[in-house]
Amino acid sequence: MEIQQYSYTGNGLTRVFENQKWMVGIKNWKPENDLAGIDCLERHNETDELFILLAGSCTLLFANEVDGHLTIDKVDMEPLKVYNIPATLWHNTVTRKDTKLALIEDSATGAANSDVRMLSGAQIEQIQAMLA
């Protein structure tokens, strides 16, 4: 038996390791996560998600929902800190081309137990102003 190694240099997210309990992904910049391309938030209804900034810069967007209205806020990630996104919290990442994140979550997390919410033009403008 030998130690296994994983890496990923393409755009976006790929699962580099997965077993029956959890998965580790590497998430790099992609146009949809650029400030100019951000158009949605997502939430995982059953599981938490962890992010670690390995290189570059990333802002975690998050939003609490009350009576159908989102209150959007942000956290500027610091390298090598672990950030937990609790289950049901709306979120997304805003990255730059040099960004590399590690992502850890339950291996059963996916489209069947997650939601995507498209942002309005006003919400996108709010986010762009917040991150300018």
Domains defined along the chain, listed by start: 14-131 (2.60.120.10)
Distance CA 114, CA 42 (A): 7
Residues in the chain: 132
Residue 21 — φ and ψ, nearest 5°? Answer: -105, -40
Q: What is Dmax (Cα atoms) for the chain?
A: 54
The enclosing H or E element of 43 equals strand 40-44
Residue 68 has pLDDT above 90, yes or no: no
In tens, the pLDDT along 1-22 reads 999 999 999 999 999 999 999 9
Q: pTM of the full predicted structure?
A: 0.93
Question: Per-residue pLDDT averaged across 103-112, rounded?
Answer: 96
